[in-house]
Amino acid sequence: MMRVVLIVGLILIVFGVLSLGYEGITYVSREKVAEVGPIEVRADRQRTIWLSPVVGVIALAAGAGLVFAGMRPSSA
């Protein structure tokens, strides 16, 4: 169980560092712009999901807490 907590903590730390390094996740979506009879006009639109720096800081803090908790010897 402690190993799972440690791994989740490390994943959160990596996510936190990446989210602080990048401002957002950009992807391309293809949308239908017009349709005239059998002809369709499509356009590629670039979309961005913005990540707040607060998300990165929270992920880093939570990951550090989980790593710390996962490294402590169990009392049982």
Give the pLDDT score at 76: 56
Q: Which DSSP helix (H) or strand (E) runs through 25?
A: strand 24-36
**Amino acid in position 29:** S
Name beta bridge partners: 46: 28
Give the Cα separation of 8 and 55 in Å (integer): 16
Residue spans of the chain under pLDDT 50: none
Amino acid 51: pLDDT:
83
pTM score, whole prediction: 0.65
Q: CB–CB of 50/24 below 8 Å?
A: yes
